[in-house]
Amino acid sequence: GHFVMMSDWQLIYFCSFTYLLYELTHPLKDLISRNYSTIPTAHTIKILIWNWPHNKKPNIIENMCAKLYGIPGCHMTTNRSAFKQADVVFFRHVDIYPSVTSLPQEKRPKQQMWIWMSMESPNIYTPYGKLIPNTDQHYTIPKKGSCLAAWVVSNYKKHHKRTSIVKSLQNYMTIDIYGKGNGKPLSPETLQGTISKYPFYLAFENSVHQDYITEKLWRNSFMSGSVPVVFGPPRSNYEKFVPPGSFIHVEDFPSTKELAEYLKRVAKNETLYKQYFEWKKQFKWKLGCVI
C-alpha cells in the first residue's frame, strides 16, 4: 500500500477541503454521503486542486479519498491539464486574490463546480479539530520550564489587538516569542517540543469572528500539552467545541495585569494547574477532519 506524508498544516487543509466537499456540493452531496454503501461505484468524481499550499505538490494517490477519509468514488489531482474532465475545481482564496488572472482562463464546463475556500476569517465554518472519547483515560503533562508562556506568530501586525495584549502582558510576566514574525521560526519537527516546555501557550487569533478557532488551540496548545490562553471569539463560542475548564480566556479578566497574576498563581500551584488537564480523562483531541 501507499503512505502519504503531510504536514499538520497540509492535513488541516486537506481535511477541511474534504469537509467542504461533503457539506457544500450538490448533487455531489448525494454521492458522497454518510451512507457510503449507497454511492454508485461506477461514477468517479474527479477533483482538481488548482493550487496546493505553498506550491508544494503532494504525493496524491488515486484512492486517497478512500484511504485517508473512507470516502470511495473520487479521484484527486493537481494536474491542470485535467481541467475539462474535472467535476470539481478547488481554489484557495490566497492563491487567486486579488487577480482573476489566477483563475482558469478556459470556459468552465457546464456541469463543473468551483469551490472557493479560505482558512482565514470570516469564512464558512471549517473545523481545525474536534474532541473524541478518550477510552483509556490516559494522559501525560510534559515537564515545564521556568518561562511562563510561549507565543508563536507568523502574521505579525502592530495594529492587531492580540499584539497589544501581548505587549501589555510582557509588563507583568515573561513570554518567549517564536515564529517568522519574530525572526525565530519553528519547524514542524520542533514546534510541539518547544511549546510543551511552557505552562501556558498564547492561542491568540489574528481576528475575532464566530467559530474562528484555529490550530493555535488544537495543535499548538492541546497537541503540545500546554494550557491555552485564548483570544478570539467569546468564551461561550469556545465552549461549543471544548470543555470550559480546558482553557483560560483573556476576557475572563478585567486587565492584563490580573490575567498575568492568575497565570503565575496557577503555574505555582500544581493542583490548580492539573485541573486544566482533567478534561483529558474523558476526551482527546483529533486534528482536522470532522466528517
pLDDT digits (tens, 9 = 90+) for 164-173: 999 999 999 9
> What share of the chain has pLDDT > 70, as a percent?
77
Q: Select from 175, 179, 182, 181 the least CA-distant residue to 149.
A: 175
Buried b (16+ CB within 10 A) or exposed e, 109-123: eeebbebebebebee
pLDDT value for 239: 97
Per-chain mean pLDDT for the chain: 82
- 237 and 271 co-located in one domain: yes
pLDDT value for 155: 85
- 26 and 150 co-located in one domain: no
Please provide the size of the chain in residues.
Answer: 291
- 202 and 108 co-located in one domain: no
User: Does residue 100 lie in a domain region?
Assistant: yes
User: Does residue 280 lie in a domain region?
Assistant: yes
pLDDT value for 178: 97
CB 207 within 8 Å of CB 159 = no
Number of domains in the chain: 2
Apex CA 43: angle with CA 48 and CA 18, to 5°?
A: 45
Higher pLDDT, 71 or 226: 226
**57 confidence band (pLDDT: 50, 70, 90):** low
Neighbours of 199 (CB within 10 A): 23
**55 confidence band (pLDDT: 50, 70, 90):** low
User: Does residue 125 lie in a domain region?
Assistant: no
User: Does residue 142 lie in a domain region?
Assistant: yes
Domain termination site, one of 117, 142, 162: 117
User: Does residue 127 lie in a domain region?
Assistant: no
Residue numbers annotated as active site: 120
- 150 and 112 co-located in one domain: no
Hunting for cell 497540509 — which residue is that? 10
User: Does residue 1 lie in a domain region?
Assistant: no
User: Does residue 2 lie in a domain region?
Assistant: no
- 111 and 137 co-located in one domain: no
- 143 and 100 co-located in one domain: no
Domain termination site, one of 90, 117, 144: 117
User: Does residue 124 lie in a domain region?
Assistant: no
Residue 96: domain span: 8-117
**126 confidence band (pLDDT: 50, 70, 90):** confident
- 61 and 185 co-located in one domain: no
- 68 and 191 co-located in one domain: no
Domain termination site, one of 117, 143, 158: 117
Higher pLDDT, 220 or 102: 220
Render pLDDT for 175-196 as a digit per residue (tens, 0 to 9).
Answer: 999 999 889 999 989 999 999 9
**75 confidence band (pLDDT: 50, 70, 90):** confident
- 136 and 249 co-located in one domain: yes
